[in-house]
Chains A and B, each alone.
Chain A
Amino acid sequence: MNDLLEFTQKLIHVSTVICIVAISVSLLLLLIRVIIGPSNADRAVALDGIGINLMGIAALISIIIVTTKLNDVVLLIGILLFIGTLAIAKYLEKGVIIDRDMD
């Protein structure tokens, strides 16, 4: 029984490290898209993907250091990412972010 628990813990640790490495590779590829992206919309979409990958990394790190305090951080990154992407999209579309009168 004890051996099984130890094996499970080791399995979780190894798979989490593999996932962190995979997400890091994904972040590097997204960074290339941010740098050489031909248009600004490409950069906006790549930044969105970077934010989602950061959420994943925060969750995986909270598995490595065994804690639940990072759950708020994951939600916070998601919310700020949504608002930031919305602001970029609105600026690219209309030129203003908060407009005076919409109708």
Chain B
Amino acid sequence: MYKPNDLILRTTTSVIAFILLGFAVYLLLAGHNSPGGGFVGGLMTASAIVLMYMSYGMEAVKKILPINFRTLIPIGLLIAVSTGIGSFVFNVPFLSHTFGHFTLPILGEVELATAMLFDMGVYVTVLGVTMTIILTIANDR
């Protein structure tokens, strides 16, 4: 049994995984007024993690990323539902969203919408579901 040498693959992965995670965050934040959103962002993050799994093996990634992806599904659903529940506090119907203009220290004036929080919930849920499916299929032997 020969020992495989994955030097090129591992070096490429450590560079490209960062680009993929950055692109995923870009897709998540740009979803309001250009193509993108929580779903594609979650899928991109999942593909970055799958890339790390493919090149480093299951044990090593489990050591550096100690997340049980199954717990991400209820967390994401809870975030999405709580943005809907939060509209009851202001006496408006369920899932009413609003936005406002804020002045942040570095970014200057930005428009922040509560639909972003709902998108975060979608992002976390999609990430959890995709990684659960892939890792469950990869585990059986």
Contact = CB atoms under 8 A, between A and B. Distances in A.
A98 B4 contact: no
Contacts of B53: 98
Sort A-B residue pairs by CB-CB distance and give the 5 closest, nearest first.
A102-B57, A98-B138, A101-B59, A98-B53, A100-B58
Given A72-B27, A94-B4, A99 B34 contact: no
Contact of A69 (B27, B35, B55, B135): B35
Interface in A42-99: 69, 72-73, 75-76, 79-80, 82-83, 86-87, 90, 93-94, 96-99
Contacts of B40: 76
Interface residues of A, number: 22
Contacts, number: 55
B35 A100 contact: no
B133 interface: no
Chief secondary structure at chain A's binding surface: helix
Interface of A: 69, 72-73, 75-76, 79-80, 82-83, 86-87, 90, 93-94, 96-103
Contacts of A90: 54
B54 A82 contact: no
Given A79-B23, A97-B54, A101-B57, 12 more contacts: A69-B35, A72-B34, A76-B44, A83-B50, A86-B54, A90-B54, A93-B4, A96-B138, A99-B57, A100-B59, A101-B59, A102-B57
Contact of A79 (B4, B20, B35, B58): B20
